[in-house]
Amino acid sequence: MRAFIGIPIPEELRGKIRKTGKEIEMWGIKLVEPENLHWTVKFFGDLDESQTKKVMETMDSIKGEEMEIEISGVGTFPDSSYVRVVWIGVGQGKEKFMKFMNEVNKKFSGIGKDSEVTPHLTIGRVKFIKDKEELLEKIQKIKNECIGKMRINRLVLYESQLTPKGPVYKEIKKITW
Q: Is 86 a known active-site residue?
A: no
Three-state secondary structure call for residue 104:
helix
Q: Is 120 a known active-site residue?
A: yes
- Nearest 5°: the CA angle 24, 25, 29 is 105
Closest to 123 in 3D by CA, of 177, 66, 74: 74
Q: Which of 1, 120, 150, 152 is catalytic?
A: 120
- Nearest 5°: the CA angle 170, 173, 177 is 125
Q: Which of 38, 47, 74, 150 is catalytic?
A: 38
Q: What is the dihedral of CA 113, 83, 143, 96, to 10 degrees?
A: 10
For the annotated catalytic residues, the residue numbers are 38, 120
